[in-house]
Amino acid sequence: MNDAFQSLTSLAPDTADGRKAIRKDLRKQRRSLNTQQQRDAAIHLASMLRQHPRVMQARHLAVYLPNDGEIDPGLFMAQTRRRNVHFYLPVLHPIHDGQLAFCRFDEDTPMRPNRFGIAEPVFHSRRIRPAWAMDVVLMPLVGFDDQGGRLGMGGGFYDRTFAFTRLRPRLRPALIGLAHDLQRVRRLPIEDWDVPLDAVVTDRAIYRGRG
């Protein structure tokens, strides 16, 4: 358990400041993992994901390219490459500001860096699949707790894109956070707009969220 939350929130009790402080600390910790630690984490993550029935049954899976020390789902993708499984990457939406579109991705997909320097597929409406039509969304995150709480990079992109899930409790993708185990904190200060996760999968465990 990472004690960042406990010590940082006592310094910054306000929710927004508390989130900012936790974000900074956890980003630094995950960036400090070396290449070998990242490689081991990716191997363990892949074996955890293979034990998750909903992930293994998915046909349309949203993933991400790791950035800023995020755990890398790339090995899992390589092991899961089958004709009937399609992978999608987030693209900053060209029309709906602050939202993500999900673009089909394979080895031939033309890529370019977005404004944060993260590679994303070149937007092409033919290759976009709506967020509600994903089976599983594997989300990057900065911090998580065991109540399904998620702290992201602070852009609110995933929260805006999946806000609809509150109104559609059944017909919606499974939202699964991926993280290094060191990104777990006791309790995150949660905001009204936060979309709870169904689970978080790390290099060490599968944590159930709101179930």
Ligand X SMILES: Nc1ncnc2c1ncn2[C@@H]1O[C@H](COP(=O)(O)OP(=O)(O)OP(=O)(O)O)[C@@H](O)[C@H]1O
Could you list the residues known to form a binding site for substrate, using ranges.
65, 70
Are 64 and 73 in contact by the 8 Å Cβ rule? The answer is yes
Are 197 and 206 in contact by the 8 Å Cβ rule? The answer is no
Q: What DSSP string runs through the chain?
A: -BTHHHHHHHH--SHHHHHHHHHHHHHHHHHT--HHHHHHHHHHHHHHHTT-HHHHH-SEEE-----TT---THHHHHHH--TT-EEEEEEE-SSSTT-EEEEEE-TT--EEE-TTS-EEEPP-GGGEE-GGG-SEEEEE-SEE-TTS-EE-SSS-HHHHHTGGGGT-SSSS-EEEEEE-GGGBBS-PPPPTTPPPPSEEEESS-EEE---
If binding is defined by CB under 6 A, does position 69 make contact with ligand FFO?
no
If binding is defined by CB under 6 A, does position 193 make contact with ligand X?
yes
* Smallest distance from ligand FFO to CB 148, Å: 17
What is the per-residue binding string for ligand FFO in 74-93, x denoting contact by CB under 6 A? ----------------x---
If binding is defined by CB under 6 A, does position 158 make contact with ligand FFO?
yes
The residue to which tokens 């049954």 are assigned:
57
If binding is defined by CB under 6 A, does position 14 make contact with ligand X?
no
* For ligand X, the closer CB: 121 or 152: 152
If binding is defined by CB under 6 A, does position 116 make contact with ligand FFO?
yes
Give which of ligand FFO, ligand X, none residue 67 binds (C-beta under 5 to 8 Å, depending on kind): ligand FFO
Give which of ligand FFO, ligand X, none residue 74 binds (C-beta under 5 to 8 Å, depending on kind): none
What is the per-residue binding string for ligand X in 126-165, x denoting contact by CB under 6 A? -------------------------xxxxxxxxxx--x--
If binding is defined by CB under 6 A, does position 66 make contact with ligand X?
no
Segment 171-210, which members bind ligand FFO (CB under 6 A)? none
Residues that bind ligand X (CB under 6 A): 19, 151-160, 163, 191, 193-194
Residues that bind ligand FFO (CB under 6 A): 64-67, 70, 90, 100, 116, 118, 140, 152-153, 155, 157-158
